[in-house]
Homo-oligomer: A and B are copies of this chain.
Amino acid sequence: MPQVVVDVVLKPEISDPQGQAVLGALGRLGHTQVTGVRQGKHFVLDVEGTPDEAELKQIAETLLANPVIEDVELHLPTD
């Protein structure tokens, strides 16, 4: 069954307290090579039949993400 991946990330201008907390913890543990962390959501959708790109784009942009503060990356299956 085709799988479609949707990554939802906060827009760059929106502050990300979760990512900041992870970055702080990494620094305290000595992982200084990491200088920035942003945390988002990762959805894996099982799709029946051939994925309808327009419908999936609408689902991703309006139902899985909040378009006011979040950006969406839609990854259709490559075959």
The chain A residues found within 8 Å of chain B, CB to CB, are: 1, 7-9, 19, 22, 25-26, 29, 31-49, 51-52, 55-56, 59, 63-64
Contact = CB atoms under 8 A, between A and B. Distances in A.
18 contacts: A1-B35, A7-B7, A9-B42, A9-B44, A26-B59, A26-B63, A31-B59, A31-B63, A32-B48, A34-B47, A35-B46, A35-B47, A35-B48, A36-B45, A36-B46, A37-B43, A37-B45, A40-B44
B44 A38 contact: yes
A35 B43 CA distance: 13
Question: How many protomers of this protein does the assembly include?
Answer: 2
B59 A43 contact: no
Contacts of A44: 9, 36-38, 40
